[in-house]
Structure 1
């Protein structure tokens, strides 16, 4: 979905709170974790932005100078500058620290959401999810590739999840559904607590 289509669809939302996430897999993971934890997202729209560089457009639309919605979000640590600058331009504070971003509802993933899910579950449980999905033979072939052989198992799993179109979204659901409520990644836990 392109940015214009995404903005057009988002513009009709009547939610009181808008959670901005990078992509569809992030949305699916957040919704799955909320569902598993018995947490209702009524009145909350989880909006994939099609990449963090689009955050300014969504903050213009939903922020204090736009529709005035309550905002929150999930982002990768490497993209923190985009989030900080976007929120500053939207009038939500200058030179925001990570703690201030969190207080506004914008939670950081250590590397990215897939990394958070893999660490929360543990590699053995993630391999079981891969097996249950019927992807274990494909994963074993992937592990034998020269570029993968020396990498840690967690890094192999992370890369495998992102190798084929649609796999990130599929595994966002599968890994989130496999999470025990007590092992929700901190970024997702803090985000849901904020809503």
Structure 2
């Protein structure tokens, strides 16, 4: 495994606590010399999207020392800030979250001394950006429902999507809502479409949170 990958694994194990936390902390500290910035994101799909967008701009975040670390859920932000922030590794931080989870980021950034009473603009100044309502929603709005369905067809999943659309709970909902829900129906599907949708984006229409975050790091 490459050095930045080992660093990510060590940070995740350290934040998880438990019997291996001390060993993971030592490994993370040892490997942190090659890390310029840590980007804390909610899940794997956010990591996939950011790294795919960077590649479309000719950037390799790993080679630049930018470690994109999935939290495994926004409520874990406190533990990761303890590990990566001023009282832990003390490295520059940035991040991405959904608007429904923004409060967790604000509260814990304040707790570790990185801001008090932060507005959304204040979060952005720190390098933390907020998706409305979430990453999938941002990408669907940027591409448009028709283009997203073309991506689904290219993935060989149009039949499952049409079946999903036909479910009683989905029939009356807007297609944008159906698309967003469909991407969350199977494990791994969000990450699959994060990469596929970013690959089809017009680079003049990149969702603002992704664009600003990539510019920041």
Q: Same fold (TM over 0.5)?
A: yes
Structure 2: 5+ residue stretches without partners: 1-8, 16-23
One of 56, 70, 83 as aligned partner of 1:36: 56
Once the 2 structures are TM-superposed, how far is the Cα of residue 5 of structure 1 from its aligned partner? 3.2
Distance 1:17 1:154 in 2: 34
Once the 2 structures are TM-superposed, how far is the Cα of residue 4 of structure 1 from its aligned partner? 5.5
2:153 equivalent to 1:145: no
User: Which TM-score applies when normalising by structure 1?
Assistant: 0.94
Distance 2:112 2:143 in 1: 36
Larger RCO, structures 1/2 (Cα 8 Å, 6+ apart): 1
One of 144, 147, 158 as aligned partner of 1:125: 147
Number of positions where the alignment pairs a residue of Structure 1 with one of Structure 2? 194
5 Å matches for 1:1-195? 5=13, 7=15, 8=24, 11=28, 12-13=31-32, 14-41=34-61, 42-195=64-217
User: Which TM-score applies when normalising by structure 2?
Assistant: 0.85
Q: For each residue in 1:57-104, what CA deviation from the matched residue of structure 2 results, as whole angstroms up to 9, or x when unmatched?
A: 111111111111100000111111100011011111211111110000
> What's the secondary structure of 2:87's corresponding residue?
coil
Runs of 4+ in 1 over 2 A off after TM superposition: 3-14
Q: For each residue in 1:42-64, what CA deviation from the matched residue of structure 2 results, as whole angstroms up to 9, or x when unmatched?
A: 11000000001111111111111
Once the 2 structures are TM-superposed, how far is the Cα of residue 6 of structure 1 from its aligned partner? 7.0
User: Do 2:48 and 2:195's aligned partners in 1 also have CA atoms closer than 8 Å?
Assistant: yes
Distance 1:121 1:94 in 2: 36
